[in-house]
Amino acid sequence: MSAATEGFLAMLAAERGAAANTLAAYRRDLAQAEEAIGDLADAPRDAVASLAGEWASLAPASVARKASALRQFFGFAIDEGWRSDDPSGALPAPRTRRPLPKVLGHDQIAALFARAEEEARTNDPKAVRLLALIELLYGSGLRATELVALPVHAVPRDAPFLTVTGKGGATRLVPVGGRALEALSRWLALRPADPPSRFLFPSGKGQHFSRVRLFQLVKGLAGRAGLDPAAISPHVLRHAFATHLLEGGADLRVLQTMLGHADISTTQIYTHVDAARLVALVNSRHPLATRTTSD
């Protein structure tokens, strides 16, 4: 990669606190663009425009992501004095529709937890660990990356909250229910102390439990519970947390805080699943709801 793109990535890490996965995605997109048109700090506008052809076979969401990475780079390049022009206008701007989240029903959640609880009754450390993991995914709405990287000190001592570090290094307090606290207590009693680790869910060599392994375990549990593994993942359990809280009457702003969304528009995607409740709310709470047409 060119020195300019390396400098941009260094800025993302140092000034914006971009996560490792985010940096890896930016690095990949910028490297592929440079392979196609050369050093981005010097690439002429027509070369930038030619990327539309390079990306023709990609999904609109992928094109939008790559174009966003380049727009941010070009803005940085202008700020640094590497470019005097902004060729971002030559990039394609596909209209993308954000996919609606997969939604698990209450019966599916019940089946998943029934199986996890049954397996954990043996007090096998791996089964108790899995129960604690899914309790935190569904009970607190954590992202997979947030969950596997939780340090031991994040576990509440005298308050029912977890201290979670989310995207961009932002820290938030997440409530933990009684079931999750009980599962965590059981796991801490069985958690291996050797080798020492600062992580709540340790792996070998002082590292934390991997995100890939978490996905594998959740899908395996789904299969044993008689559910379709393809329909269930850690992220789907996070969606279920949000959806079911909204069904129960949770405030959207409160949910935004718990999920760690920077923009409430991201949280609003969950409102589609609760249309019936919203109609009932309007019919019961609107000032004109109690008036008849003859009034």
Determine which one of 143, 191, 208, 239 is catalytic.
143
Active site (annotated) includes residue 219: no
105: left (phi over 0), alpha (psi -120 to 50) or beta: beta
Q: How far apart are CA 39 and CA 164, in angstroms?
A: 38
* Beta carbons of 91 and 51 less than 8 angstroms apart: yes
Active site (annotated) includes residue 138: no
Grouping H, G, I as helix, E, B as strand and the rest as coil, residue 208 is strand
* Beta carbons of 242 and 132 less than 8 angstroms apart: no
Determine which one of 129, 186, 239, 270 is catalytic.
270
Return the ∠ at Cα 285 (arms to 284 and 289), rounded to 5°: 65
Active site (annotated) includes residue 270: yes
> What string of DSSP letters covers 224-256?
HTTS-GGG--HHHHHHHHHHHHHHTT--HHHHH
- Burial class of residue 128 (count of CB atoms within 10 Å of its CB; 0-12, 13-18, 19+): buried
Grouping H, G, I as helix, E, B as strand and the rest as coil, residue 96 is coil
Determine which one of 172, 211, 261, 277 is catalytic.
261
Active site (annotated) includes residue 235: yes
Query: Beta partners for 163?
Result: 173
Determine which one of 191, 238, 239, 244 is catalytic.
238
Active site (annotated) includes residue 261: yes
Active site (annotated) includes residue 167: yes
Determine which one of 167, 211, 224, 277 is catalytic.
167
Place of tokens 């008689």: 226
CA-to-CA separations, 250 to 10, 106, 111, 286, in angstroms, rounded: 39, 17, 24, 18
**Catalytic annotation, residues:** 143, 167, 235, 238, 261, 270
